[in-house]
Every structure is written in C-alpha cells, then in structure tokens.
Amino acid sequence: MDTVHLTMLQMNIKKGDFEANCKTIERLLENMEQQPDAIMLPEMWSVGFDYRRLKEHGQHLSHALSFLNRLARKHKAFIMGGSVPEYKGDRLYNTTYVLNPDGSSQNRYRKIHLVGQRHLEGKLFHRGSYIPLFHINELPFGVANCYDIMFPELARGIALKGGELIMVPAQYSNPFFDQWMTLLRARAMENQVFVAAVNRVGPNYFGHSCLISPTGIMLHESDDKERLVEVSYHPDEVHQRRDVRHHALQLHQPALMKSIYPQNFIGVGGLVERDGRILMVRQNYGPIKGLWLFPGGHLDKGESPGIGAAREIYEETNVKSRAVELLAVRNLRIKKGVVDSYQVFRMDDLGGEPKADGFENTEAAFLSPEEIFHQRPVTHLAKVIAQKYFSGVKMGLELNQKFIKYDENYQLYL
C-alpha cells in the first residue's frame, strides 16, 4: 500500500444507549472527505461502561456485530470495531472485532490488561490471553485497548509477530492526558510502528485522538471535541527504520524471561551426526558468546519438545532433522520453584548444508570429535553429552554425579 487512510470516530458515548451511539457514528461518517481504508471506533462505543447491565449487553453482542457489518459493507472499508462487551459462557470480555470490507469478521482481540484494584473493569471482566494479528489488505496490525498501552509487552508482542501498525481504541479520561501522550509515543518508538489511537470525548474525557510515526513524531493530534478524525500515512517508513536498526530483534527473550518474568522453561537441542561429525553452532550472544554448542532454543507455546528441536535446528542451521530419542536432560534451579530444563535429542539427519542464521549464531558446521574435544571452544555441557554419545554406552538418563559438582542447582541426566 502506498498510502493508508484511516478514519477515527472521536465521539461522545451515551451510557447504555446502543441506538443513540449508532446514530452518532452514522452522523459523523456523513462528513467523510476521503475514502478510508479502515474506520476506527473507540473503546466500548456501543454502550459505554454501563456496569449494571454489562452482562445483558454482552448477551446481545450480535446487535453490535450486525451494525459493524453494515458499516463495513456500506463504506467498503475495514472496521476496527473499538470494543464491545462480549458474554461467552459465564465470562464477560472487553472485545475488539475487526471486520473486512465485505462484512466478514477477521478475528477478535479480548483486552488483556484490565484496570484492577478498586476499579469495576477488573472485577467484572475476564482477561484475554491471545495477541492476534489483523490485516488491512497486506498491512499487518495489532490492537491495544486503552489501559493496554501501559504495558510494553503487548506492543512488543504485536511487533514481533510482524505488526507495522498498532490501533488503540480508548476511553482515556482526565487527569491522564500526559500519560496518554507519553505512552503512545513510547509504544511507537520502541517498536518502530505507526500508532493510531482513537479516544472518546465527553464529560471527563479529553479526546486527542492521534497518529504517531515509528520515530515518535506526532503526525496528527486532534482536540477535545466530537469529530471525525481523518489521517493518512505512508507505511514504508516502518521498513526504512527497521532496515537501519530493528529494535525488536535486539531483544534477548530468554534472559528477560529468566530475570524479569521467572517461570519454568523448557529448552531443546539436537545432536545431528553426519559421517562421524556432530552439527554445532557458535553462539553470538550472552555469557557463552563465541562458544560452540548444539543448535536449539526454547519451545513455542504448545509445541512438543521433539518437534521444537527439529524446528530450532532448521531455523539456526538450515539442516533438516527428526527427533529419535532423548539423550540428555539438564535442569537448572533458577530460584525456588523455578526450573530451566534443557532437553537434548538424538536426531536423524534429513539433509541440508549447514548455514548460520547470522543472528543467534555466527557459524554452523559439522565438527569432528577432534575439533569438539581439542580444537574448538565448546561448552562443557556439549562436550559431556558428545563424549557420552561417542563412547557408545547406552543412554539411560542416569544422574551424572560429576557434572558441575560445585553447584547443587545443576543436575545432568545422561
């Protein structure tokens, strides 16, 4: 797309009155001066935070979706449907629906970060747990709903999935104007994405819907009046900025997860043999930078260890393989109740010439026993596993009492 045209509905919302809010949207859209690629609505545009009747409103979700369907087809535009109450099973969600120009639904995003403590939103709604990616034609984008912008992880998740635009529907209120502007610019800059944010107006709400560039420049900022906000931008700037320096790719996720968000981890690696040589990679970051080890990494959510090992080996080395049996398990107790587990599989070699990914590792090659044990700088753990493998002794996953005896937090099973 050469240019992206967005139309934002900066509107007052009448609490509990679905029909009145629909009429406001239709009235504002009569004043459009450009054909939009996408129309953006604010958070809870349909009934506001009508807490006493939210369950009832959520049970009538189909009314809101039917209205959004008509908008999409009438204006031949994608619809970022702000958010509406969705009642599913016995749970209430603050949900954003994105519709295609033909009225069909792309997907939904359920707000993850709810205002808690003494605020009713956190007491009545349930959190979402998934970060979807939507599209305006070929342009990928994500949604962060109001309070979501306080949490950089969500925006980073959208960027890592390939998002180039973050749409923000909101009901940001006084006295948080400075917070609104600061957080929106930060989310744009740190992820090198455009941010388009639509905020409601009315008593205690300040509007100031805006469009921000990947470098944090305010391209358009509205006022505090009810109005249609029409903006345009050139999406190529995202690629131009990321080609110079892609901030998200500098993220060291395993280190952050261990240090800041500790939980149990499962890492996987694979031993691939070809003509008596073992496939290894040379690490490009962290405390073992420059050392050789088995290719591998952390599992994707829901991924089985054997499948994950094959995927990681291919991504890091271009060599295809298939897990055959578990060779070794190394457990490291990070802190009480948190364990980092590393599982190494013997893999069948399915072909492919080794090639370093240039990011996590700088070299990838099949190394001979002489190179592993005497010539190359190889991690202690990889040497121990390779030595057991070349010895021909059957692996039985027995506790190795000699491995790193000085630290009781380590355990190695071979």
DSSP string, 211-239: EE-TT--EEEE--SS-EEEEEEE-THHHH
What pLDDT is recorded for position 385?
A: 92
Instruction: State the Cα–Cα distance between residues 110 and 191, nearest whole angstrom.
Output: 21
- With a cut of 80, say whether residue 33 has pLDDT above it: yes
Q: Which of 145, 116, 140, 141 is nearest to 128 (CA)?
A: 145
pLDDT bin (cut points 50, 70, 90) of residue 89 is: confident
Structure tokens at 149: 């912008």
pLDDT digits (tens, 9 = 90+) for 60-77: 999 999 999 999 999 999
If one compares 287 and 82, the residue with the highest pLDDT of the two is 82
pLDDT score, position 287: 80
pTM of this structure:
0.67
Please report the pLDDT score of residue 271 as a whole number: 96
Residue type, 23: K
CA–chain centroid gap for 400, Å, is 38
Q: Provide CB contacts within 8 A for 34, sequence distance 6+.
A: 5, 7, 230, 232
Average of per-residue pLDDT across 102-119: 92
- pLDDT for res 264: 59
Q: Is the pLDDT at 194 greater than 90, yes or no? A: yes
Count of C-beta atoms within a 10 Å radius of residue 274: 12
Is a pLDDT exceeding 80 seen at residue 334?
A: no
CA pair distance 366, 202, nearest whole angstrom: 67
Among 252-266, 301-315, 335-349, the range scoring the smallest mean pLDDT is 252-266
pLDDT of residue 359: 73
Q: Which of 2-11, 240-249, 271-280, 386-395 has the least mean pLDDT?
A: 386-395
Rg from Cα positions in the chain = 26
Structure tokens at 276: 């008596």
Q: What is the pLDDT of residue 331?
A: 78
Q: Delineate the domains of the chain, giving CATH numbers in brackets.
A: 4-250 (3.60.110.10), 253-413 (3.90.79.10)
> Regarding predicted confidence, which is higher, 329 or 322?
322
Other residues' Cβ atoms within 10 Å of the Cβ of residue 105: 15
If residue 247 lies in a helix (H) or strand (E), which one and from where to where?
none
- What confidence tens digit (pLDDT) does each residue in 261-297 have? 655 567 899 999 999 999 999 998 778 889 999 999 8
Taking residues 292-306, what's their average pLDDT? 84
Spatial distance between the Cα atoms of 143 and 96, rounded to a whole number of angstroms: 8
- Arithmetic mean of pLDDT, 209-227: 98
User: Which residues, listed in sequence order, are joined to residue 6 by a DSSP beta bridge?
Assistant: 38, 231
Query: Under a CB-based contact definition with an 8 Å cutoff, are residues 387 and 340 in contact?
Result: no
One-letter amino acid identity for 285?
Y
What is the model's pLDDT at position 357? Answer: 82
User: Dihedrals φ, ψ of 284, to 5°?
Assistant: -115, 5
